[in-house]
Amino acid sequence: MASAALELLRTSIAVAQRINPITPHHHVVWCVLSAKNKDGLPELSAEDRLSFFHAVRDTQEKITTETGITDFNINWEEGCGKPVPGGLDSWTRYVHVVPRMVGDLEGDAVHELLDRWTWSGGMIVQPEAEPWPCDAKRKDRTPEIMAAEAAQFRQMLSSAGIPKNMAACADGFKFSHIPIASGLTFFVSEFGSTVAFVNLRPFRRGHVLLSPRRCVARLRDLTRVEYEDLIDSAGRLGDALRLVEFPRGFEFSVQDGPLASQSIPHVHIHMIPRI
């Protein structure tokens, strides 16, 4: 574990430290709470979870202030049972904040490196993890195939107890300049500012996108309410889909800026099932 001298941020909820960085200034934000649920696993209240993710955004801001770096990969996993300080968790309770600079990593190498990252140093090989496909192998899908998948997700969420009035964005929305039809969406938050929709070119089955309705390019541009609604929606969707279809949980990934491979200038979270 990194020493306290390497801490960038500490709150009552979280600590941000440089722990086995894969790029310069890479920090891991990890939760210091140890509350247990009925199964003996660490658990956060909804309020604490949002406070934790505010620490993630504060870590980005501190790195930008100290280094001038503005582009980041933000990655975390939920439901994957990876080791964390204090034992195994039902979600990993740590988030990678990976600053990106020109020429540091190629393509999606950041995801493969994070798949193999460990607390103790060195890299591990996870033979059960499906490799990330190269971009050239990802193909556009037809609207009909995407609409059928969205309908499947709406059914999954209904089975998991998500109310029907949250099952789709009735009027669709614009993902940057791209119109997303209502039939391609499968979730809209209670607050109404977050939408989930199927992916034109998924990495693997079940890879979907979650986005604020308002078009902003960066996480820092979201209001506090929008940011909290986005994070809360990601957790709610992950929990629901893990119950009915994807028991190993999800990797969540934000490409925050063009150097982090963001191709559409509209904040979005990739939800990628662990296979």
Active-site residues, by number, are: 268
Other beta carbons within 10 angstroms of residue 38's beta carbon come to 6
Distances from the Cα of 12 to the Cα of 8, 83, 108, 153, 197, angstroms: 14, 21, 34, 37, 35
Give Rg (Cα) of the chain: 18
Measured in whole angstroms, the distance separating CA 252 from the mean position of its chain's CA atoms is 2
Q: Return the beta strands (E) in the chain as ranges.
A: 7-10, 14-17, 27-31, 71-78, 83-84, 87-88, 94-100, 173-175, 178-180, 185-188, 194-198, 208-212, 250-256, 269-273
